[in-house]
Chain A
Amino acid sequence: DIQMTQSPSSLSASVGDRVTITCRASQDISNYLAWYQQKPGKVPELLIYTASTLQSGVPSRFSGSGSGTDFTLTINSLQPEDVATYYCQKYNSVPWTFGQGTKVEIK
Chain B
Amino acid sequence: EVQVVETGGGLIQPGGSLRLSCAASGFTVSNSYMIWVRQAPGKGLEWVSFIYGNGNTYYADSVKGRFTISRDNSRNTLYLQMNSLRAEDTAVYYCARWYLNRGADYWGQGTLVIVSS
Contacts and interface: CB of A to CB of B under 8 A. Distances in A.
Interface of A: 1, 32, 34, 36, 38, 43-46, 49-50, 53, 55, 85, 87, 89, 91, 94-101
Given A36-B104, A98-B37, 6 more contacts: A34-B102, A34-B103, A49-B101, A49-B103, A91-B101, A100-B44
Given A49-B101, A94-B58, A96-B35, A43 B45 contact: no
B45 A55 contact: no
Dominant secondary structure at the B interface: strand
6 contacts: A44-B45, A45-B107, A46-B105, A87-B44, A96-B50, A98-B44
A98 B103 contact: no
By size class, the interface of chain B is 20 to 34
A44 B60 contact: no
Contacts of B105: 46, 55
B27 interface: no
Contacts of A95: 47, 58, 60-61
Contacts of A1: 61
Contacts of A49: 101-103
B103 A55 contact: yes
A55 B102 CA distance: 8
For the complex of A and B, list the 7 residue pairs with the smallest distance between their C-beta atoms, beginning with the closest.
Answer: A34-B103, A49-B103, A49-B102, A101-B44, A96-B47, A98-B45, A94-B58
Contacts of A94: 50, 58
Interface in B12-64: 35, 37, 44-47, 50, 58, 60-61
